[in-house]
């Protein structure tokens, strides 16, 4: 249990630390974060709907027999088993919430607008998505997948002019994926 509590604490600390870094960078760069964080029912709904393509991606990963995706699935399941096997659903929910908020504050709340103020917004989305992919890279295929997800979150932030849709989609997807992968690893 001590290992599970330590993993939970470190995950929360890391993800919220990314959020604080994002707030600091946004503040230093003059990015008006408060205007990107207006929570409305429509924004929450957009975020929930935006989760569906990510869940379709998870389904493809789960059902595919293509050996690179099978290897990626096994790699992901091993990491979930190692880090989150004994985590409760509440711990997974809080980690997912921290990841959705923290990572989106940093990547789409601070870095993407800062780069967009210097370069074309599409270049900013591309560069930030590559950084997002690098931070999540466990393998080449995972890097490519995370970069694609970063492009999607970047597009959501740009299309809606807020961070709520990417935060909700990111956090909700992470919770479903972690819970599902944890369940799969417990069954195996």
Q: What is the pLDDT of residues 19-45, one digit of tens each?
A: 999 999 999 999 999 999 999 999 999
Q: What is the pLDDT of residue 114?
A: 97
User: What is the predicted pLDDT for the residue at 2?
Assistant: 67
For residue 138, the model assigns a pLDDT of: 86
Determine if the pTM surpasses 0.85: yes
Is 80 exceeded by the pLDDT of residue 188?
Answer: no
Which tens digit of pLDDT belongs to each residue from 65-104?
Answer: 999 999 999 999 988 888 898 899 999 999 999 999 999 9
What b-and-e string marks burial along 32-66, b requiring 16 or more CB atoms within 10 Å of the CB? ebeebbeeeeebeebbeebbeebeebbeebeeeee
pLDDT tops 90 at residue 1: no
Residue 24, CA distances (Å) to 15, 52, 109, 150, 155 in order: 14, 31, 11, 21, 23
pLDDT digits (tens, 9 = 90+) for 118-169: 999 999 999 999 999 999 988 899 999 999 999 999 999 999 999 999 999 9
DSSP character at residue 109: I
Q: Which residues contact 77 (CB under 8 A, 6 or more apart)?
A: 181, 184, 185, 188
Mean pLDDT confidence for 37-58: 96
Q: Half-sphere exposure (CA, 13 Å, Cβ side) for 4?
A: 11
Which of 164, 162, 110 is CA-nearest to residue 132? 110
Dihedral Cα 96, 99, 100, 104, nearest 10 deg: -170
**Per-residue pLDDT for 56 more than 60?**
yes
pLDDT band at residue 186 using 50, 70 and 90 as cut-offs: confident
Residue recorded with tokens 């509590």: 5
């Amino acid at each position: 249990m001590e290992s599970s509590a330590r993993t939970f604490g470190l995950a929360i600390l890391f993800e919220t630390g990314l959020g604080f870094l994002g707030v600091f960078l946004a503040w230093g760069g003059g990015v008006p974060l408060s205007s990107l964080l207006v929570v409305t029912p429509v924004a929450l709904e957009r975020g929930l709907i935006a989760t569906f393509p990510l869940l379709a991606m998870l389904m493809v990963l789960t059902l595919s027999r293509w050996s690179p995706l099978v290897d990626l699935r096994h790699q992901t399941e091993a990491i979930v088993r190692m880090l989150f096997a004994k985590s409760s659903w509440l711990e997974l929910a809080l980690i997912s919430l921290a990841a959705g908020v923290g990572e989106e504050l940093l990547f789409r709340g601070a870095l993407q607008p800062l780069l967009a103020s210097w370069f074309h917004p599409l270049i900013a989305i591309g560069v930030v998505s590559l950084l997002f992919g690098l931070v999540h890279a466990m393998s080449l295929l995972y890097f490519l997948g995370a970069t694609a997800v970063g492009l999607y979150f970047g597009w959501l932030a740009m299309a809606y002019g807020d961070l709520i849709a990417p935060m909700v989609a990111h956090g909700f997807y992470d919770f479903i994926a972690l819970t599902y992968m944890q369940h799969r690893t417990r069954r195996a």
